[in-house]
Every structure is written in structure tokens, then in C-alpha cells.
Structure 1
Amino acid sequence: MSDWVSLCVVISLLFSLLMVAVYFLYSGLLSDIIVLTGSPPVKKITFAYKFKQGPYKNCGQLFKETNSIGPKLTCIGVFYDDPKKVPGPQCRYAVGSILSEGEDKADEELLKRYETSGFNVFSFPEVTHVVTTSFPHRTFFSILLSVRRVYPRMELYIKKRRLCAHPFLELYRDGQIQFMAPLARQGDFYVPEVRHVERRLSEEEELHSDTDVSGADSNSEYSSGSGVLLSDSRETSLGASSVHSSVSPLEQGDRDYRGRSSGGASSKEPDWEQAGGQQDERKESLHGDSEQKNLVVPTQQWWGVVGGEE
């Protein structure tokens, strides 16, 4: 009798291990990751978002919130800082949902719902070249796997080709997590709250440092955290968005993990709060220590070195 019980236990254990292995494989454990330089996965977009500064681990709640308002919309996360070089409380990100793409109009009812919930509205331009790849988004574990697998590949690709690519965007739709980092017009991918943070940091540094010794320009908007010099002008005006929203600085967050199923096609909603706890691992997997040379737009070291593209 005891032998029969032992055999049942062994069979159950083997079956459980088999199910776990199948789950991991289905989640994308062995999926090919092909990093390319090419056209972006989206055109010009208008999106509702909330901006936060602090640990990326907290962004899962934002994905959950934005998905609850527009469950059929594509969720987007934009990550501005390298958590290996920027303290967690200072890391910046924006999370929201895409309201319209290209020349399409945003749904007015959805727009009002987002604005009522405290979201702002902004537009990103369409660019011709980005560093991009994708990863299957089939289960919650797909999000964790993308942390471990995608960002090291993107880092290596950017470093080898000495590219200037930032910030990093993630889009969740059609059962895929689409990753992209623009190679041009990077300043246009920084939401207005980032500029507010830059100005505040600049003012604080001006109060606590001797500008004559440092030689720093007190009016500079150079971010000591992200290493990005932001211009006051946008080729696509900040006010030219097809949808308006008053921009009010929102509380901000850092780097562990978020996740969110793309709007329309997904039948399962991932646990965004659990996903938030993995953001640090994913970002730390990406960031390298390459030095910068001849940058047209100064960027963080982990974004690589410019290779002739702005």
C-alpha cells in the first residue's frame, strides 16, 4: 500500500513539473527575440497617462488603473531613467492608454473618463527609425520573462552599433509586448512633467552648488539623472495634439515592474500589482556601462553612444 502511495506521489510530482514546464514554454521561455532597427510598431499616437516619480515597482497599479478605464485600449509604459544609476525615488515613468493612432480621432467619452480620473493627454510623433522587438504576452509570467530576456538583447544591440536610443516604450496589445526606443526626436517622447522635474532639479542644484566652479549653466535643462538634454521646442507642438488636456504635475514612481495586457484582443487580465514588483530586475538587465562620445543628444550611458543619428 505504501509503495502505491509513493508511486502516486512521484507521478503527481512529475505531472506538476511537466505542467510548470509547459506553462513556462507557453509564456515565451524559448521564444525568439529579434532586435531590429526599423519602422516603429505605432504611428503618431495620442494617449492618456499618469506620470510618476519613484520605484518602478509601483507602476503595476497604474497599468491596472488605466486598463480598468479603457480595457480595450492598448496600454503603454514609457521609462525614462536607468535604475542602476538613478536612485529609485528619482526614477521617472509614464503609464497610460493609447486613445488614437495616426489621424484617427480619440473617443470623446473615453477621453472624459480618463481626464476625470486625473489622467493627462499628450502626443508622441511618428518617427522613421526605432530600435524595436516584441515578446509574446500570453500569461503573467510572460511579463517576467520579458524582463530577463528582452532588455539584455536590446542593450547588446544598441551598444554594438553605438546607437543613441531613448526613452524605452512598451506597448501591450494583440497578445504581444512591443518594445521600442526612438533613434530620433527623442525629446518629443518626454512628457511635460519630465521638464518640470528637470527645472526643479536645476533650481535645487543652483541653490546648493557654486556655478562659477562647476561652470554649469543655471538655465540648462540637462538631467543629471537621465542624461538627456531637453529642448523647449517640439517639431510637433505640445499644444497641437488633436486632444487637449491641462497638464498638471502628478506624483511619480521607479523601477521594478509593471505589466498589462493589450487592450482589445486579450481575454485575460494580468496581475499588474504583482508585475510591478519585477520592474527593477527588468531595467537592471538592460542597462550597460558604455561611455558616451560625440552625442548629438546626451543620453544615459545605458542607452549607448550615438552613431550619427540624432
Structure 2
Amino acid sequence: MKTISIIIILLILSLIAYLSRHGLFSSVRISEKNTGPLLIVYKKHIGEYKNVGPVMDKIYYDLKNNHSIDTTKGFGLYYDNPKEVNRDKLRSIVGCIVEGRSKEELEHITGKYGVQEHPGSNSVVAEFPYKGKASIILGIFKVYPKLLAYINNENYPHNPIMEVYDLPNQKIEYTSSIELTADFYDALLQ
């Protein structure tokens, strides 16, 4: 019986250590700053947000292997609140951020992907550690409530929230533009 208790305690400690590494005890600070511009290569996704990872990976590997475009940042732009919209109708665009190139240099892939400059704008921003998929899940529970509360308290528009997965800096940056209009975001879904 003592051995089982020790094993259970070790498993619990291991889980806490794992989740701690992925951000369990990280604080969330909200700020306002200018973000962008970003050159994004993306695909539209309708359905559960948990299913966007393979779409993002496909774009990353296609850009790398077939177009010699290396990227280190992925993104998801999430339009709908899963508490208010049916899961099979959730709208998002997902893909990669391409740095050091112009939109004109990527014209050869516009038939396959959307290519757009996400303009710079004043935004509400939160950062969270990115150590893997567990960080994304923890971020949903830790960041979104604080980010949405800040947006509501300031009476800012409820624009889609962009999650930027910054691999070199091992962080997720959550941004919601204060300035961009619904027309800009709706055009990305076309």
C-alpha cells in the first residue's frame, strides 16, 4: 500500500512539474502596444479550433519543402467564442507568418493560400510561455478570461483574437486589435 501511495505522489509531482514547465504558474499581464504589420500565409478553417494544428503544420511544411520559405512563427486568428457558437461553425484562419519577404514575392502561392498583410495597429496584448501543446491549452484557460475582461472594461471592439506561436522566443502572443475594423477581418474569410 505504501508503494502505491509513493507512486501516486510521484505521478502527481511529475504532472505538476510538466504543467509548470508549460505555464501553469505563469502570470498573465495585459498591455496595449502597436503590433504588426505581419505578412501572413493562411487557410480558412471552419470547425473546432482544436483541429487547426494539422492545417498550420501542412502550410509550414509546404512553404519549407516546396517553396524554400522558412518560418518560425505560426498563427491562428480566432473569430468566434466557442461558448456562443456551435463547434462545427467556429471560424478561423491559420497559417504562418513570413518574415523578410514582400507580398509580391509570394504571389506564386496565392492560388493555394491566402497571402495578406495584417496591418500594424494598436492592440491589447498578452503573452504566455510556449513549450508545446499543453501551453496552448493552459493559455486558453489562463489568458482568455483576463484578455476578454480587459477588452470589456475598456469598451474595446470584440475583434478576432490572434494567437502568434513564436518558436524562437518560446511564447504565445495573444493580440486583439483596437483599431482594425470588422471589414478587414471579414475579407480574410473570403
Q: Return the TM-score normalized by structure 1.
A: 0.53
Residue pair 1:138, 1:175 contacting (<8 A) in 2 also: yes
How many residue pairs match? The answer is 182
Which structure shows the bigger proportion of residues in strand conformation? 2
Give the direction of change, closer, same or farther, for the CA distance of 1:126–1:13 in structure 2 (3 Å limit): same
Deviation track 1:259-286 (CA, whole Å, cap 9, x = no partner) reads: xxxxxxxxxxxxxxxxxxxxxxxxxxxx
Q: Look up the equivalent residue of 2:132 and give its one-letter code.
A: T
Q: What amino acid sits opposite 1:154 in the alignment? A: L
Q: CA RMSD for the aligned pairs?
A: 2.6
CA contact (8 A) 2:78 2:162 kept: yes
Q: Is the 8 A contact 1:167 1:189 kept in 2?
A: no
What is the letter of the counterpart of residue 18 of structure 1? L
Cα distance per residue 1:105-124 (max 9 Å; x no partner) = 25999x488557x2221111
Q: Deviations over 1:36-87 (max 9, x none)?
A: 12222xx211111001223323222212222333464310111122333333
Identify the residue that residue 172 of structure 1 maps to in structure 2: 165
Instruction: Say whether 1:126 aligns with 2:120.
Output: yes
CA distance in 2, matches of 1:61, 1:133: 25
* 1:159 to 2:159 alignment: no
Q: Are the counterparts in 2 of residues 130 and 182 from structure 1 also a CA contact under 8 Å? A: yes
Unaligned runs of 5+ in 2: 65-69
**TM superposition shift of 1:130:** 0.5
Q: Distance in 2 between matches of 1:25 and 1:10?
A: 22
Structure 1 CA distance for aligned equivalents of residues 4 and 84 of structure 2: 48
Q: State the shift of 1:94 in Å.
A: 0.4
Cα distance in 2 between the residues matched to 1:120 and 1:92 = 15
Distance change in 2, residues 1:20/1:50 (3 Å): same
Alpha-carbon separation, structure 2, partners of 1:87 and 1:14: 39
- The residue correspondences of 1:26-175 to structure 2 (distance < 5 A) are 26-40=21-35, 43-69=36-62, 70=64, 72-100=71-99, 104-106=100-102, 111=106, 118-127=112-121, 129-173=122-166, 174-175=169-170
| Structure 1: gaps of 5 or more residues | 1-5, 197-310
TM-score in terms of structure 2 length: 0.82
In structure 2, C-alpha distance between the alignment counterparts of 1:67 and 1:131, rounded to whole Å: 27
Among 3, 6, 11, the alignment partner of 1:11 is 6
Asked whether the 8 Å contact 1:130–1:165 carries over to 2, the reply is: no
Inter-partner Cα distance in structure 2 for 1:72 and 1:185: 25
Report if the CA contact (8 A) 1:66-1:75 is conserved. no
Question: Percent same amino acid at aligned positions?
Answer: 25
- Distance 1:58-1:140 versus aligned 2 partners, 3 A rule: closer
* Alpha-carbon spacing, 1:52–1:140, altered in 2? closer, same or farther (3 Å): closer
- TM-superposed deviation, 1:182: 0.3
Name the residue aligned to 2:67: none
Q: CA deviation at 1:34?
A: 0.5
Q: Structure 1: which amino acid aligns with 2:52?
A: C
CA distance in 2, matches of 1:140, 1:121: 26
